[in-house]
Structure 1
Amino acid sequence: MPLDQLWDDDEQEGKGGEMTFIEHLEELRWHIIRALAAILVFTVAAFIFHKEIFNYVILAPKNPDFWTYRQMCKLATLLNAPDLCVNKIDFILISREVTGQFMMAMTYSVIIGLIFAFPYAFWEVWRFIKPGLHDMEVKASRGAVFWVTFLFLLGALFGYYIVSPLAINFLANFKVDESIANQFDISSYIGLLAMMVLACGLTFQLPMVTFVLSKIGLLTPKFMRDYRKHAFIVILIVAAIITPSPDVFSQMLVTAPLLLLYEISIFVSARVNRQRQAELDKTLGD
């Protein structure tokens, strides 16, 4: 279907009919500009409040009184497993470059801008795509913006409160010799934290990816069930990459949500498959 036929009459009311290719590009340009503007607004706000954000958000996972570590200590008491309790995180942060702290503030401001502007940015993209969908496709994808946003933020929180503290604790306390002190560059610390948060945010999009692939017929629930064991191995590998800590407890904390996401994705694929089959039967019946 030509690009200038993708938009329905309702969306073009008052614009004199169907849009031309140039008009589509102009429309897309404004959606992108508004999305970038939202990212810029949150980035500037994060930079203005950089001291508060740095002290209470960025540096929080390096302190033993962080929420995650407190819960681990409670769990250690409950299970009588003192090794689970984190009492000390043995490292200091340094900045070796003249512009190190300024660039660090700029970097995490952009990252925070991306995270907080993600719902609006995705909504702008969705506004551009939605008019080109058929009525059944629009109905089937109802709530897409909410679920994409919810899963991304849920994954980001999981990365911040679960994966990042486990990784930081393990890497900070791992020493080949006690005489070697851990002094981490601030850019390395922020890079690790950002990677964990964003990676988990994207990983939690698995049900939505499954929805899209199932919708276009590239994925079926039967395929996902048949390869469940293979998927389990892949999830273990992903969990091992995301969480450098070798202990079983840390691995399971990351593996369990990923397995749950896979099972939810099977349910999503099965539902989409039933809808596609019902539409096909209706078409053949007509």
Structure 2
Amino acid sequence: MARKKVDPNKMSFLDHVEELRWSLIRSIIGILIGALIAGFFTDFIFDVIIFGPKRGSFITYEFFCDFGKNFGIISDFCNPDFNFKVQSKEMSDEFSTHIWTCILVGFVVAFPWILHQIWRFISPGLKSDEKKYSGGFIIVCSLLFFIGVIFGYFVIAPLSVHFMMTYNLSPEISTEPSLSSYIGYIRASILASGLLFELPVIIYFLTKIGLATPAGLRKNRKFALVIVLIVAAVITPPDIASQIIVAIPVLILYEVSIFISKFVLYRQERRKRKLATP
């Protein structure tokens, strides 16, 4: 049965709830389609992508190794010796990991579609001149998310794996992580980084509703620095170098967010002056 179209200006509370329900359903369908597609590339996703950071020849390790050599430093990233095996300790580990990994890949692939559904839901409450920016909103948010995912995979994930697998209390201890533990590190690194890179978009909307201002962001810069370092400590291994590497792009995004907030206020003031002009 086709859904009855309702004038956005005359929608009741239940109509909005119904629209939200359909937005969620369409988003879930998009994720499931992405998960189904991921299921056809299981070997590539696991053998090449997910288990890539556990190999000493991973591109990130080679980059840091070459970078150190340029300064006459032979670092632990040069051919790291952690050829470990990932263990499946429960009968259902491999099956559940396969399913949830496909869903995660589906979420990443369907992220632009999810953003489109979010925009469709909030668009009735926007002004006519704001609705025309839907394409830009989806492109910018998707681009930031994918950059964050790439940063999480090529920087945060290998740094986490390298630190944890080279940290050894005694030669008598052999580290052999479980499948859920290893996948958990990779998943957290990718998702946390992808969502963290949405900071400029979040600041944009907070400024639009009056909860953020350029002056306030500048004033609270030192508190933001502390929060960024805490977040970096949570999603990275507990060494200073890794935390700094993660904190730098987030701080850059914070500074960019200040300019975005300033631009939003400038546009609002210009619109007010235009409306006030007879």
Q: Give the structure-1-normalised TM-score.
A: 0.88
1:133 maps to what in 2?
A: 126
Which amino acid in the other structure matches residue 257 of structure 1? P
Let me know the Cα RMSD of the aligned residues.
Answer: 2.2
CA contact (8 A) 1:152 1:204 kept: yes
Match of 2:87 in 1: 94
Residue 114 of structure 1 pairs with residue 83 of structure 2: no
The change in CA–CA distance for 1:6 and 1:273 in structure 2 (over 3 A counts) is: farther
Q: 2:250 maps to which residue?
A: 258
CA distance in 2: counterparts of 1:127 and 1:275, whole angstroms: 23
Aligned residues of 2:225 and 2:251 also touching (Cα < 8 A): yes
Q: What is the number of residues matched between the two proteins?
A: 273
2:29 maps to which of 34, 37, 49: 37
CA–CA distance in 1 between the matches of 2:93 and 2:11? 48
C-alpha displacement at 1:132, in angstroms? 2.9
Corresponding residue number in structure 2 for 1:189: 182
Q: Which moved more, 1:102-111 or 1:208-217?
A: 102-111
Q: Are residue 243 (structure 1) and residue 244 (structure 2) matched?
A: no
Tell me the CA shift for residue 31 of structure 1: 3.1
User: What percent of counterpart residues are identical?
Assistant: 36
Is the counterpart of residue 144 in structure 1 residue 133 in structure 2?
Answer: no
The 8 Å contact of residues 188 and 235 in structure 2, kept in 1 or not, is answered as no
Which position in structure 2 is the counterpart of 1:13? none
Q: CA deviation at 1:7?
A: 2.0
Q: Which amino acid aligns with 1:102?
A: F
The Cα of 1:26 is off from its aligned counterpart by: 4.5
In structure 2, relative to structure 1, the CA distance for the partners of 1:142 and 1:217 (3 Å cut) is farther
Unaligned runs of 5+ in 2: none
Q: For 1:33-74, what per-residue CA distance to the aligned partner results, in whole angstroms no more than 9, with x for missing partners?
A: 222111111112212321221101110011111111111111
Q: Name the SS of the counterpart of 1:92 in structure 2.
A: coil
For the structure 1 residues 66 and 237, does the alpha-carbon distance in structure 2 shift closer, same or farther, using more than 3 Å as the test? same
**Structure 1 stretches lacking a partner, 5+ long:** 9-17
Q: SS of the residue aligned with 1:236?
A: helix
8 Å CA contact 2:147–2:197 kept in 1: the answer is: yes
Partner in structure 2 of residue 63 of structure 1: 55
- The CA deviation at 1:135 is 1.7
Q: Find the partner of 1:267 among 259, 264, 267.
A: 259
Structure 1 residue 211 corresponds to structure 2 residue 204: yes
Aligned equivalents of 1:112, 1:185: Cα separation in 2: 21
Q: CA deviation at 1:140?
A: 6.2
Cα deviation per residue 1:214-242 (whole Å; 9 max; x = unaligned)?
01111100111112222222222222222
Tell whether the 8 Å contact from 2:153 to 2:189 is kept in structure 1 after alignment: yes
Decide whether aligned partners of structure 1 residues 109 and 155 sit closer, same or farther in structure 2, where only a CA change above 3 A counts.
same
Aligned mates of 1:20, 1:103 — CA distance in 2: 41
**Mapped partners of 1:100, 1:162: distance in 2:** 26
The answer to whether residue 154 in structure 2 is matched with residue 153 in structure 1 is no
What secondary structure is seen at the aligned counterpart in 2 of 1:235?
Answer: helix
Deviation, structure 1 residue 212: 0.2
Query: Following the alignment from structure 2 to structure 1, what is the Cα–Cα distance between the partners of residues 140 and 52?
Result: 28
Paired with 2:233 and 2:276, the residues of 1 have a C-alpha distance of 48
CA drift of 1:82 comes to 0.8
